[in-house]
Amino acid sequence: MAEYARPDYWTLRAKKEGYPARSVYKLEEIVRKFGLMNGLGGRRGTPERGQTGAGPAILDVGAAPGSWSLWLLRQMKGRGKLVAVDIQDLDIMPQIEAMGLHKAMGATKVDEPIGAHFTFVKGSILDEPVRARLRELGPFQLVVSDAAPATSGNRLVDQARSEELVEAVIGLALQVLAPGGALVTKIFQGGEERRLLTELRGHFAQARAFKPQACRSESFETYLVATGFCKSPEQAC
């Protein structure tokens, strides 16, 4: 991971607003540009499996240090359910506890919450027990991932690792998304974005690449955004 000598606008803003990382503003721009939380879980009535009351069910993959999860919880305002998964612990537990939200560590059940459900599953999405737990907690209307592999400094190696991780995220999303759901996942640019977008268009009504303003100018990361998930090939996207 590159070291930056001077904090930029986004880093200073994140610190001021209580987020562990500047990446939160990438998610904020993507969600607002594509309307990814518009109307999620807003209907009254009996919630579907995976929902908690009237509110969205969201999965944050590769959630550490926790900026994306914290931003999502703040937008949810005590409604719905957020599940975060990562191999590392989150740095946002004090903020979550201050919001009055219960948490579950590992594969334990969530108690009756105060406000939105929040579940943290510690583990790798490459492990079947973790994927099984996430399937149990779903379905989700939105899956987001800012996950990135450990970088080596060799761009070709890092691109290949990123592509493998993105393919794992996509594979998981296809298992846990509800019909009509959306996916956001980071990828290092390097030529495979077109192939992955083609794959996504076979499962979603729309898919495109998008680079938020908060990405550093020298960064070669971008995001794949797919909306309108089709649960089966027979379902018209």
Residues sharing a CB contact under 8 Å with residue 48, sequence separation 6 or more, in sequence order: 139, 178
Which amino acid, 181?
G
User: Residue 233 has what pLDDT?
Assistant: 57
Cα 58 from Cα 61, distance rounded (Å): 10
Q: Which domains are assigned to the chain? A: 9-33+51-229 (3.40.50.150)
For the residues of 182-202, what is the DSSP string, one character each? EEEEEEE-SS-HHHHHHHHHT
pTM, two decimals, is 0.85
Residue range 85-103: average pLDDT? 79
Per-residue model confidence as pLDDT tens digits over 53-70: 568 999 999 999 999 999
In the set 16, 26, 77, 186, the catalytic residue is: 186
More confident residue, 150 or 124: 124
What is the average pLDDT score of the chain? 83
User: Residue 113 has what pLDDT?
Assistant: 39
Per-residue model confidence as pLDDT tens digits over 180-190: 999 999 998 87
User: Residue 101 has what pLDDT?
Assistant: 61
* Residue 21: count of CB within 10 angstroms of its CB: 19
User: Residue 103 has what pLDDT?
Assistant: 45
Q: Is 186 a catalytic residue?
A: yes
Residue range 24-43: average pLDDT? 85
Residues sharing a CB contact under 8 Å with residue 119, sequence separation 6 or more, in sequence order: 81, 82, 83, 84, 103, 104, 110, 137
More confident residue, 50 or 215: 215
More confident residue, 215 or 207: 207
Helical axes 67-76 vs 24-34, angle rounded to 10°:
40
